[in-house]
Amino acid sequence: MTRPSHPTRFASTLDLSRLPWFDVRDGNRLVLVDDSVGPIIDMHTHLAMGYFRKLAVDLRRETPATSYYLPLTLPVDLDLYSNQNLDDAAMFAMKLDLSVLSLTGQGMRTTHTAPNLARDLRDLGIVYAVVLPIDMPVGMRNSDSVLEVAREYEELIPFGSVHPFDSDADSRLLTQRERGALGIKLHPNAQFVAPDHPKTVHLCGRCGTHGLPVLFHCGPVGIEPEAGRRRSQVFRYEKAMAENPDTTFVLGHSGALQFDEALRFADRYPNVLFELSCLGLPALRQVLETVPADRLLYGTDWPFYHQSLTLARILLATEGEPALRRAVLHDNAARLLGLRPETAAPLEDARRSAGGGGQEGGTGSEGD
C-alpha cells in the first residue's frame, strides 16, 4: 500500500491548510475541517507562568490573537524538531519572554491565557487540554494559579507541580490532588534538578502512591543552557522508572533529540507512556513503529507552537491506520486521565449516523 504523498514544508503555519485536514477561517485561524478526525486530547500545554513573585498575567483574559513562540508567519518544516523552525529573532524573543519578562506582566506571555487556549481547542477539535505548571521550592506557585483557573474551564485538565526539594512535597501532592490535579509535571531544566537525583526519584514514588502520573519533560532539545542539557540526558531518567514500577510515567517529547534512546524504555518499562509533541516527522514515525499503540499520547507544548504542528504530523503518520490514530489522539489519554466513558465513546459512529454534516470548528463568537 503506497502512502498518499503530502507536502511537509510550508510557507507558514496557516499554509498547513494545503493538507487535507485543515482550512483557514477568518483569514488568520487554522481550523480542523475533517469530521473523521477526533475527538482529541492534548496532553501537553502551558499557561503563562511566573517566578519569584505573584503572577502578573491575567490568565482569564482573552486577547484577539495568541503569540506563539514559533510565530504563525514563519516557514514550517514538519520533518524538523519543532524548535528548529525558529529563526534568530523568534529565538531571542522567546528567551526574553521566558526570562526577564516573566518577572513582569508584559510580553507574549500575556496572550498565553485560558480563553485563548480554549479558542484554539475549539478550532482544532480538541476536547481537553492538560495544563502543566512548573513549581520551584519557594516563591511563585504556578500550580496554584493553574488549579484555580482550570475550575472555570471545563476543557482544561490541570496537573500539579511539586519541586523535589520542597520540604512539604508529600502534603502538597495530596493538596493538589484534592484541588483537582490529575498528575504531576516535573521539569529537570526549569526546576534545576536532575531526574536521577535521589529526591526526584523519591518524589516519583510518592506520586505513584497517591495515584498521580508523572509527566517528565524528557530529553535535550538543543537550545537549553549546557547544565540543563546535561541534566536532561535521556539515560538519567531510567532510575526513576526502574525504582518506581507502580508509578505511571509520561515522557514529554518522547526524549526529544534523544528519542531513539528513550525508545529502549518502551520494552523495559510497561509503566511508561510516550508523549509526542515537537518530534520531527521521521522521529515521530519511528516512535509510532516502536512503542505499543496503547502507550502513545498526542501533545503540543502550546503556546510554544500552534497545536496543528504535532497534529499534522500525527495525521500524516497514521494515514490508513484509524485505530492507531484514535488511540494516539484520544483513547490513551482518556484512559490515563480516567475520563468519563461517554467522552471515550466512538464519536465517528455517532457522527456518521447523524449524517456526517460538516461540524463548525469554532463557535464563531470569539471576535477578533
Name the residue among 148, 168, 152 with its Cα closest to residue 160: 148
Min dist CB 191 to Zn ion, Å, is 12
Min dist CB 223 to Zn ion, Å, is 13
Min dist CB 352 to Zn ion, Å, is 36
Min dist CB 221 to Zn ion, Å, is 10
Strands 9-10 and 76-77 come out as antiparallel
Q: What's the angle, vertex CA 233, arms to CA 230 and CA 236, rounded to 5? A: 105
Which residue lies nearer to Zn ion by CB, 192 or 293? 192
Specify the amino acid at residue 176.
Q
Min dist CB 154 to Zn ion, Å, is 22
Strands 156-158 and 126-131 come out as parallel
Which residue lies nearer to Zn ion by CB, 19 or 47? 47
Which residue lies nearer to Zn ion by CB, 43 or 201? 43
Which residue lies nearer to Zn ion by CB, 185 or 236? 185
Q: Which residue is closest to Zn ion by CB?
A: 301
Which residue lies nearer to Zn ion by CB, 29 or 253? 253
DSSP β-bridge partners for residue 126? 40
Q: Nearest 10 degrees: CA dihedral of 276, 279, 283, 284?
A: 40
Compute the distance between CA of residue 168 and CA of residue 159 in angstroms, rounded to an integer: 18
Which residue lies nearer to Zn ion by CB, 222 or 245? 222
In three-state secondary structure terms, 130 is: strand
Min dist CB 217 to Zn ion, Å, is 6
Catalog residues that contact Zn ion under the rule CB under 5 A: 301
Compute the distance between CA of residue 42 and CA of residue 73 in angstroms, rounded to an integer: 23
Min dist CB 79 to Zn ion, Å, is 21
Contacts of 213 (CB under 8 A, 6+ apart): 182, 183, 184, 207, 247, 248, 249, 250, 336
CB 298 within 8 A of CB 310: yes
Q: Cα 202 vs. chain centroid, distance in angstroms?
A: 25
CB 113 within 8 A of CB 61: yes
Structure-block grid coordinates of residue 164: 523535589
Min dist CB 20 to Zn ion, Å, is 29
Which residue lies nearer to Zn ion by CB, 218 or 240? 218
Which residue lies nearer to Zn ion by CB, 135 or 301? 301
CB 79 within 8 A of CB 278: no
